[in-house]
Amino acid sequence: MEIATVRNAIIDQLKNDADIIALCGADAVDYGLGRQFPESLPALRIIQLGRDEEEEAESGDGDPFIWVNYRFHLGYIFEIQSDEDEKTVEDMESSADRVIRKALAKDYTLQNYAIDIALGRTFFRAIPEKNKYFVIIELSVRVLEQASIR
């Protein structure tokens, strides 16, 4: 399995969640951030960070298995209107954090691609002069892979 397989399973799960669709729309869920902000906001992006060290898993005879943790950041990007203030930003940050965590918690197996999902810290960032705000959630996905197939 590769990181793209896990990433695509995350995207599929989020795109099909009613709360995510209400938050930003299914078309706003994608991967990569690049050098430009998405044209249409709000948007939810999955950013690949990498793969942790492998651990050998106990297995019977035959092809050995390994545990692998893939790490991601989920970035929710939004903007506010000129008549809105910091209280609006904080309310939107809190709501997005809750909705995204809830959507991922609905199926910790990502349609049987994963053994477990660990949701980490949430960071709030802003570029006020560009009127852009970010909710960034750490995510680790644990999978069991055959050693010969990786």
Select from 31, 1, 2 the least CA-distant residue to 14: 31
b/e sequence 119-144, b meaning 16+ C-beta within 10 Å? beebeeeeeeeeeebbbbbebbbbbe
- List all residues 6 or more positions away from 95 whose beta carbon is below 8 Å from its beta carbon: 23
- List all residues 6 or more positions away from 35 whose beta carbon is below 8 Å from its beta carbon: none
Across 107-118, average pLDDT: 80
Mean pLDDT of the chain, nearest integer:
87
Res 87 pLDDT > 80:
yes
Please name each of the domains of the chain with its CATH number. Answer: 3-146 (3.30.2000.30)
Confidence class for position 109, pLDDT limits 50, 70, 90? confident
Structure tokens at 24: 């930003």
Residue 68 pairs in a beta bridge with 143
pLDDT at 17: 94
3-class SS of residue 130:
helix
For 67-82, the pLDDT digits (tens) are 889 999 999 999 988 7
Q: Please tell me which residue, 49 or 59, carries the higher pLDDT value.
A: 49
Res 55 pLDDT > 90:
no
Are the C-beta atoms of residues 73 and 47 closer than 8 Å to each other? yes
3-class SS of residue 3:
helix
Whole-angstrom distance, CA of residue 9 vs CA of residue 99: 18
Res 123 pLDDT > 90:
yes
Res 117 pLDDT > 60:
yes
Confidence class for position 32, pLDDT limits 50, 70, 90? confident
pLDDT at 150: 56
Across 92-121, average pLDDT: 88
128 — phi, psi (to 5°)?
A: -55, -35
pLDDT at 61: 64
Q: Which helix (H) or strand (E) holds 19?
A: helix 18-23
pTM: 0.86
Res 57 pLDDT > 80:
no
DSSP 149: T
Structure tokens at 34: 């690049």
Structure tokens at 90: 């904080």
